[in-house]
Amino acid sequence: MTVGDLCTREVVVTDGDLPIQDAARLMRDRHVGNVVLVERRPDGSAVPKGVITDRDLVVGVLALDLEHIAGLKVRDMVTAPVVTSKADVSLAEAIATMTANGVRRLPVVDSSGALVGILTADDVYEALAEQLSLVASVATYQQRRERRSRK
């Protein structure tokens, strides 16, 4: 199972010129907690440059009590280089990337670096829970088989 199999394919994207108020509106209207800042290439594909979350808008903007919030753009919010994951790597590798960088979400890119999805900690939980319940069902099956064979 690869990151490409598990990630969410629908990603809300924006270029850097979006005012942060509009980013907040986008998060509300599209029911997402993050927007990926992308740069368009001539072929139309999008390269992730940053991730901005609902929390970033609170602790990174409101907490500063700035005079001119209305003039702030998404570009101004993105400071650290974005941490991404390739689509063809394993779930374990993506978890290691999250852990090493302390991030809960990874924009997922193809071999050319174009955005194809986003993997969040929630996606990881879901995948792991599914695998755990599979392992649990093996144990139950084994017990049943053992009871049968010992009769």
Partner 1 sequence: MTRAVEAIGPDTSLVEAARFMRDESIGFLPVLEEGRLVGVITDRDITVRATADALDAQSTRVGSVMTKPVVTISESESIYEADALMERHTIRRLVVLDGRGALCGVLSLDDLAVLPDREKDSMVEP
Q: Which of residues 84-143 bind partner 1 (CB under 8 A)?
A: 125, 129, 132-133, 136
The contacts found for 121-125 with CB under 8 angstroms, 24 or more apart, are 123/6, 123/7, 123/8, 124/6, 124/91, 124/94, 124/95, 124/98
Q: How many residues does the chain have?
A: 151
77 binds partner 1, rule: CB under 8 A: no
Minimal distance, residue 13 CB to partner 1, in Å = 18
Q: Quick one: which of 3, 11, 37, 61 contacts partner 1 (CB under 8 A)?
A: 61
Minimal distance, residue 100 CB to partner 1, in Å = 19
20 binds partner 1, rule: CB under 8 A: yes
Decide if 106 contacts 97 (C-beta within 8 A). Answer: yes
Residues that bind partner 1 in the complex, under the rule CB under 8 A: 20-21, 24-25, 27-28, 33, 54-55, 57-59, 61-63, 65, 69-70, 125, 129, 132-133, 136
